[in-house]
């Protein structure tokens, strides 16, 4: 099939590269010609394991193209994937302006029957808005072109997106007629051939499925963090509790790891957007509000522990921070717990030396430049350089290189002997026997 993917961000680029990998002809469109030029050279603007190799291979073999002009792609393509951003507004709802702009552009450019697939996360009813805008633009051109609008939400985990796309738990398709459903079955056939994973449902049902899935996962995380804080007050080890409840097949172990909060581009944004949708219907989303509020408070849990040990004024204190991205496997720092923690530490007068295996460039671009100019924050070349002269280690992101620290080396180079473990990665007894004070989450 000939596909045009509009938007070359995380979802669009992964989608385009993976469809090309299974034999489809794909053009990825972006209005930013500079970005398109970089993509043609294999310069991927974010970190995702295996994506660069996938892009370069399919470009080399001619199945994946990049373009900054939509007219030719519109003339050649039979499917259009909308994969542009829907960032949160100041009220927490999703900003759908980019999706509507794409819909208007498609209404001005399409020349033959086609299927428009929305992959951008947007409120229930988005497909209807897309259909209305395209029809309006076609009417202005005095054309009648048959087209379908489909919802196909993405369920990609950053750090494992290619595997998620190629071996999905499910492919959710929202369609309002059998013709559109048939097109989508054909499109995903190379991916779902071994096992039927494609679920066809109503368009609004599919749109809601995306939000409900992310809200459920966020709920599990916030619930576990709430239990962890309770365990800490009662003298209970949350890790034992986690194993005890995770062994129940009705619960399982996924997303019940206590820590310093969730972040990224999906969970925070989608929970807030769902809260706004509920309020617009004059409903009171108490559980969703609690999930969001618990997470915001959990991001400051490590800072609270630091204040208890060192006091509220941190002038002269130096902290080594391991991990800046919101989770391992990505350089994404959107809504990352590390950012909330840095804000508090630096405001209290502390100096921080930070290291992350892949997010350093993103940190330099996205964090306040005043932090670097004042030397309140230094980005260092390796994890142990972050600990030289430090009063404490703060683990925020559980990258694999951080899992087995050299405690003897740390003891020699650090000024203090304290570990704040924001992801419960370390065996408490081993850390204590190494001569360190240990502060985990719920331990």
Half-sphere exposure for 54 (CA within 13 Å, toward CB)? 22
What whole-number distance in Å separates Cα of residue 161 and Cα of residue 55? 14
User: Of 418, 427, 423, which is closest to residue 309 (Cα–Cα)?
Assistant: 418
User: In sequence order, what E strands does 60-186 have?
Assistant: 64-67, 79-82, 114-118, 147-151, 171-174
Q: How far apart are the first and last CA of the chain?
A: 54
User: Of 196, 248, 242, which is closest to residue 221 (Cα–Cα)?
Assistant: 242
Kind plus residue range of the DSSP H or E element containing 201: strand 198-201
- Rounded to 10°, the helix 97-109/126-140 angle is 40
Are 205 and 183 contacting, i.e. CB atoms less than 8 angstroms apart? no
User: Which residues face 322 on adjacent strands?
Assistant: 355, 395
Joined together, the tokens standing for residue 46 give: 């974010």
- Residue 266 is a catalytic residue: yes
Active site residues: 266
């Amino acid at each position: 099939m000939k596909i045009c993917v509009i938007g070359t961000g995380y979802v669009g680029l992964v989608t385009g590269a993976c469809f090309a990998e299974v034999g489809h002809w794909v053009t990825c469109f972006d209005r930013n010609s500079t970005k398109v030029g970089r993509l043609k050279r294999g310069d991927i603007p974010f970190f995702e394991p295996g994506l660069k190799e996938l892009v370069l291979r399919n470009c080399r073999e001619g199945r994946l193209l990049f373009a900054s002009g939509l007219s030719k792609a519109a003339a050649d393509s039979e499917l259009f994937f909308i994969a542009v951003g829907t960032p949160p507004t100041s009220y927490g709802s999703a900003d759908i302006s980019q999706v509507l702009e794409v819909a208007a552009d498609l209404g001005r450019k399409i020349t033959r029957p086609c299927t428009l697939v929305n992959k951008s996360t947007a409120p229930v009813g988005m497909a209807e808005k897309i259909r209305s805008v395209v029809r309006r633009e076609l009417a202005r051109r005095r054309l009648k072109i048959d087209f379908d609008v489909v919802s196909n939400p993405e369920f990609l985990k950053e750090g494992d997106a290619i595997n998620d796309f190629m071996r999905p738990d499910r492919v959710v398709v929202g369609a309002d007629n059998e013709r559109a459903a048939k097109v989508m079955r054909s499109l995903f056939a190379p991916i779902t051939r071994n096992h039927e994973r494609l679920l066809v449902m109503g368009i609004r049902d599919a749109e809601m499925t995306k939000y409900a899935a992310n809200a459920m996962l966020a709920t599990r995380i916030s619930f576990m963090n709430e239990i962890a804080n309770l365990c800490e007050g009662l003298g209970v080890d949350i890790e034992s509790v986690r194993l005890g409840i995770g062994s129940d097949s009705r619960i399982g172990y996924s997303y019940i790891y206590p820590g310093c909060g969730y972040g990224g581009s999906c969970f925070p944004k989608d929970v807030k957007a769902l809260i706004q949708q509920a309020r617009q219907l004059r409903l009171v989303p108490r559980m969703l509000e609690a999930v969001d509020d618990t997470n915001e408070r959990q991001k400051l849990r490590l800072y609270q522990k630091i204040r208890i040990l060192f006091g509220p004024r941190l002038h002269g204190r130096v902290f080594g921070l391991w991990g800046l991205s919101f989770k391992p496997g990505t350089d994404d720092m959107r809504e990352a717990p590390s950012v909330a923690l840095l804000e508090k530490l630096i405001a209290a007068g502390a100096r921080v030396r930070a290291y992350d295996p892949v997010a350093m460039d993103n940190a330099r671009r996205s964090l306040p430049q005043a932090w670097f100019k004042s030397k309140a924050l230094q980005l260092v070349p390796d994890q142990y350089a972050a600990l030289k002269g430090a009063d404490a280690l703060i683990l925020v992101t559980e990258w694999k290189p951080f899992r087995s620290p050299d405690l003897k080396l740390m003891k020699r180079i650090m000024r203090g002997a304290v570990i704040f473990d924001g992801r419960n990665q370390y065996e408490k007894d081993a850390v204590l026997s190494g001569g360190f004070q240990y502060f985990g989450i719920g331990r």
